[in-house]
């Protein structure tokens, strides 16, 4: 089946630094990828929709200058958390669809646990 690879799985960074998270579709092309954020024991909140070759679409309340998304190819989207602060500590998950139409599910990466100290 479809596989989405997400790296790194865990990252600890100092406050004020930037962190890049990669999301790759390994065996399919994904024109659209999605980035979610999940706080402990809570559900996934969509942050932005990443579109290959164009600007990402951000959800209301998500700072586009803080969470930079680049979708430069059909198999790679990156999320960069800029000037990270402790409140950015969270679990970030990407996903992609491996087909079009209402009958297709989504494949998720394994997530990235970001800790800002």
Binding residues vs another protein (CB under 8 A): 6, 32, 34, 41-46, 49, 59-60, 91, 93, 95, 100-111, 113
- What is the nearest approach in angstroms of another protein to the Cβ of residue 31? 10
Comparing CB distances to another protein, the nearer of 83 and 110 is 110
| Nearer to another protein among residue 73 and residue 104 (C-beta) | 104
Between strands 44-51 and 67-73, the pairing is unpaired
Comparing CB distances to another protein, the nearer of 15 and 42 is: 42
Give buried/exposed letters for 81-95 (b at 16+ CB in 10 A, else e). beebeeebbbbbbbb
Alpha-carbon gap, residue 108 to 117, rounded angstroms: 27
Task: Please report how close the Cβ of residue 66 comes to another protein at its closest, in angstroms.
Answer: 19
Least distance between another protein and beta carbon 76 (Å) = 17
Give the list of residues 6+ apart from residue 46 with CB closer than 8 angstroms, or none.
34, 35, 36, 59
Q: Give residue for tokens 């997530």.
A: 111
Nearest distance in Å: CB 16, another protein: 26
């Amino acid at each position: 089946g479809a596989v989405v690879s997400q790296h790194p799985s865990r990252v600890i960074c100092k406050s004020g630094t930037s962190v890049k998270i990669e999301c790759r579709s390994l065996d399919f092309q994904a024109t659209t990828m999605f980035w979610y954020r999940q706080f402990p024991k809570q559900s996934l909140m969509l942050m932005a929709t990443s579109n290959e070759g164009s600007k990402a679409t951000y959800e209301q309340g998500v700072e586009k200058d803080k969470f930079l998304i680049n979708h430069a190819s059909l198999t790679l989207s990156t999320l960069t958390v800029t000037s990270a602060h402790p409140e950015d500590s969270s679990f970030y998950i990407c996903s992609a669809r491996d087909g079009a139409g209402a009958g297709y599910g989504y494949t998720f990466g394994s997530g990235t646990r970001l800790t800002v100290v």
